[in-house]
Amino acid sequence: MADRGCVLAVVPTLGERTDTLGAALASVRAQEGISTTLVVVVPATATEARAIAKEFGALVVDDPRRGLSAAVNAGIEAADGESYFAWIGDDDELYPTGLRTLADLLEADHGAVVSFGACDYMDDAGRVFAVSRAGRWARRVLAWGPDLIPQPASLTRLPAIRAVGAYDEGLRFVMDLDMFLRLRRQGRFLTTGERIASYRWHPDALTVANRGISIAEAEKVKRRHLPGPLRPLAPVWDAPVRLAITLVSKQLSRRARAGRHVD
């Protein structure tokens, strides 16, 4: 049984990024001031990734191979009394005080269910070229605008996820947006300007086709969370939001390719 305040930290991986997986797992193990239960969800055939996970003392769970949402759900099913939940990609990294900072916010406000902070964007070489600091605006625009809450830099009360149900396995790209929209009914979202994590931006992997599919999926999800009378009005703000997301994504990709960095 995990101790009170422990974080269930899930890292789903297909085993294709073994060059960054170790750093991701090491960043979870390096968390200061809070205990973590590290769970790696990985296909049974990904022998190298499974070996890396075991090196870091992770609980290894077989990937059900039904998509990312199903993998995250499989990690949550491995919970054993933890209070909080976080998940990062196999090429993302947490900063040493990240989870403790977010847990402190939630422990100070029992009516809050999600906390999140700033998130660095790093290129393939690990250089930080941009920082996401949406702050309170992320919560305010969530229902109609872009999802500005950085998943790697967020922490959620595990009982709140139990209350709203599992991640939607029918979604390919915006399962986090859907979960955050459901969690809003459970309590407040808190934020900090402290950098919590770094997210690796792969500019060449973000094809125009996938970006378009992702935006369309997000619009569908946001629409189903709107009150009935407002749904017919969604196209009014969908178009400018779609344009803004596309422009920002292209700008980030250009900065990543240019090798620019920030302190």
d(CA 245, CA 184): 22
Whether residue 222 is predicted with pLDDT greater than 70 in this model: the reply is yes
- Length of the chain, please? 263
d(CA 176, CA 78): 19
d(CA 201, CA 180): 22
pLDDT tens, 149-162? 999 999 999 999 99
Q: Can you say whether residue 4 is alpha, beta or left, with left for phi > 0 and alpha for psi between -120 and 50 degrees?
A: beta
pLDDT tens, 39-98? 999 999 999 999 999 999 999 999 999 999 999 999 999 999 999 999 999 999 999 999
pLDDT of residue 242: 78
Higher pLDDT, residue 121 or 230: 121
pLDDT of residue 261: 67
Whether residue 4 is predicted with pLDDT greater than 70 in this model: the reply is no
* Cα–Cα nearest to 144, from 223, 246, 243, 211: 223
Average pLDDT over residues 24-33: 98
How far CA 220 is from CA of 143, 156, 255, in Å, comes to 11, 24, 30
Beta strands at 59-62 and 154-157: parallel, antiparallel or unpaired: unpaired
Higher pLDDT, residue 261 or 232: 232
pLDDT tens, 113-142? 999 999 999 998 889 999 999 888 898 889
Whether residue 209 is predicted with pLDDT greater than 70 in this model: the reply is no
| Percentage of the residues of the chain whose pLDDT score is greater than 70 | 93
Residue pair 52/23 in contact (Cβ under 8 Å)? The answer is: no
d(CA 233, CA 221): 15
d(CA 163, CA 158): 9
pLDDT of residue 7: 98
Whether residue 205 is predicted with pLDDT greater than 80 in this model: the reply is no
pLDDT of residue 226: 82
| 207 CB-side CA count, 13 A | 3
Whether residue 38 is predicted with pLDDT greater than 80 in this model: the reply is yes
pLDDT of residue 109: 97
pLDDT tens, 57-68? 999 999 999 999
Q: Domain 7-258: give its CATH superfamily.
A: Spore Coat Polysaccharide Biosynthesis Protein SpsA; Chain A (3.90.550.10)
1-30: b (≥16 Cβ within 10 Å) or e: ebeebbbbbbbbbbbebeebbbbbbebbee
pLDDT of residue 208: 46
Residue with structure tokens 């009360």? 157
| Percentage of the residues of the chain whose pLDDT score is greater than 90 | 70
pLDDT of residue 47: 98
Split at pLDDT 50, 70, 90, the class of 250 is confident
Query: How is residue 52 written in tokens?
Result: 């890396």
pLDDT of residue 212: 82
Beta strands at 84-87 and 7-12: parallel, antiparallel or unpaired: parallel
d(CA 217, CA 255): 26
d(CA 137, CA 120): 17
d(CA 197, CA 97): 10
